[in-house]
Amino acid sequence: MAEDKKEKNKEAVRSFQAVKGMHDVLPADEPYWEKIESVVRALAKDYGFARIEPPVLEFAELYNKTSGDTSDVVQKEMYTLKTKGGDMLALRPEYTPGIARAYLEHGMSRLPQPQRLLAMGRIFRHERPQLGRARQFTQIDLETLGGVSDALYDAEIIEVMSDLLAGLKIKNPTLKLNSIGCRVCRPLYKKQLQAYYRAHEKDLCDDCRVRIDANPLRLLDCKEPGCEKLKEHAPSILDKLCINCSNHFKEVLEYLDEVKIPYELDSRLVRGLDYYSRTVFEFYADGPEAQIGAIAAGGRYDYLMETIGGHITPAVGGASGVERLIAVMRAKETAPNGAASTTPGSKRVFLAHAGELSKKRCFSLLRELRAKGIAVTESLAKDSLGNQLKVADKEGIGIALILGQKEIYEDTVIVRDLTSGIQEAVPVDRLADDLKRRLAAK
RNA sequence: GUGCCUAUAGCUUAAUGGUAGAGCCUCGGAUUGUGGCUCCGAUGAUACGGGUUCGAUUCCCGUUAGGCACCCCA
């Protein structure tokens, strides 16, 4: 019988495992989330990014049209579902198209331009989980939409991302920068690149032979020794930019110099989404944590609105992965202060009863103290006073209150300083003020 | 999506083709109104399914999950 029950429990636990790549955010992670949220909120306020939160589900077609029919994110990694009404929907694999859609749908082009928007929420990609890579994850997304295609805004997005990392004490990140040109210069460059690689096709790896036609820009990203060698003499996009793109990129660099943000030019940097034009960037953590992958990335996408029925609308954006930021913070031990609980133990008091008869009065006293703004916890379900105080000690609480029959008759409460071990009886009507004074001193 | 590696209690781990051992944590106790230290006790594990075997946690296969390298990406 007992055996059967055990088996049943096992069975139940097994069937309710978390879905692959979907992770619980546990109380122990909370300080990191709180820290990130507060830094993001402060930056949004300082730079004037307003919060927008588009839905998690959109028509799948929105992403096909924008992120791209050739991108892995859409082709291989998007969660799609068919509704009972027959609509094809997708769990958002990124923020940008949804925000662009909202911008058009709500006529935000009639508001002062550009619109600076901020979103923070869950993103879904069906890929093989790894460290810093899950199927559900969280992005902080910044978008500057509308106005003119001014390099100032490219630099600003990069600047905010840089501030975000600095605010989280992620020091010396590497910023990689590139420009992938526009409709005018990119096709020309692609042709030159293809021509160059066709001439050396026999020295390429199998993947790269496919890439020549499928995604020539990716040829520059291959790590096979043979292909690596060919890269050295491959034409660089930075030499092939048209005059407008070249000037735009130069200005981005000048703005970054102006605010002293260091960067590395990387003419091999190509982004996996179809809609990018001109500036693209990626931030990597310093040291071994670079393996976690880009911790923030983005670029300009002046043509995106046009593909979903709007006019050409200059826009630039960037996103950062919250779980990756946390992974880096953990690895670098830049842990935020404070324990798992919202209020650290030193700022809380603990109420213990001395004997069953005072439990009920304790329950109402908790309420009275909380109403006066005092954070108070308890372990009233335990019967012995010793065990209750043991809990207080484990939670790192500095002040314990003890209430027994004697105190109820006298209308007092024992206030015990758990650090010094000194205690005194305080009249109930003076209790809240007394505690506030003690807590302020902690 | 491809390849490789891993899987023992909530955590860290030991061991073995013959009944799985510890530390930490949790819970309880050491004159029932006083915590931290100490002592005692309790709970709790071979991820799941199949095969080989008299016998498998150990060997083999599959599944699941995690990690790594690709692909790609935040």
Residue A31 CA distance to nucleotide B69 C1' (Å) = 32
Q: Where are the domains of chain A?
A: 18-184+242-331, 345-441
User: Which residues are A144's β-sheet partners?
Assistant: A116, A316
Give this prediction's pTM. 0.89
CATH topology for the A18-184+242-331 domain: BirA Bifunctional Protein; domain 2 (3.30.930)
CB A276 within 8 A of CB A226: no
pLDDT tens-digit map of A278-296: 999 999 998 888 889 999 9
Q: A116 — phi, psi (to 5°)?
A: -100, 120
Q: In what order do the strands lie in the sheet with A88-91?
A: A57-59, A88-91, A80-82
Residue A352 CA distance to nucleotide B32 C1' (Å) = 16
- Average pLDDT estimate for A250-265: 96
Residue A22 CA distance to nucleotide B57 C1' (Å) = 29
pLDDT tens-digit map of A219-244: 777 777 777 778 878 888 999 999 99
Ranges of H-type helices in A300-351? 304-307, 322-331
CATH code for A345-441? Answer: 3.40.50.800
Name the nucleotide with the smallest C1'–CA separation from A292. Answer: B74
Name the nucleotide with the smallest C1'–CA separation from A96. Answer: B74
Q: How do beta strands A296-300 and A277-284 pair?
A: antiparallel
Name the nucleotide with the smallest C1'–CA separation from A404. Answer: B33
Residue A14 CA distance to nucleotide B61 C1' (Å) = 21
pLDDT tens-digit map of A180-212: 999 999 889 988 888 888 888 877 777 777 778
Q: What average pLDDT is seen over chain A?
A: 89
Q: What is the DSSP letter of A307?
A: H
Residue A394 CA distance to nucleotide B23 C1' (Å) = 19
| Complex ipTM value | 0.87
Ranges of H-type helices in A200-321? 206-214, 225-231, 237-240, 243-258, 304-307
CB A399 within 8 A of CB A350: yes
Closest residue to B65 (CA, C1′):
A20
- Average pLDDT estimate for A251-268: 95
- Average pLDDT estimate for A121-150: 94
Q: A321 — phi, psi (to 5°)?
A: -95, 115
CB A344 within 8 A of CB A161: no
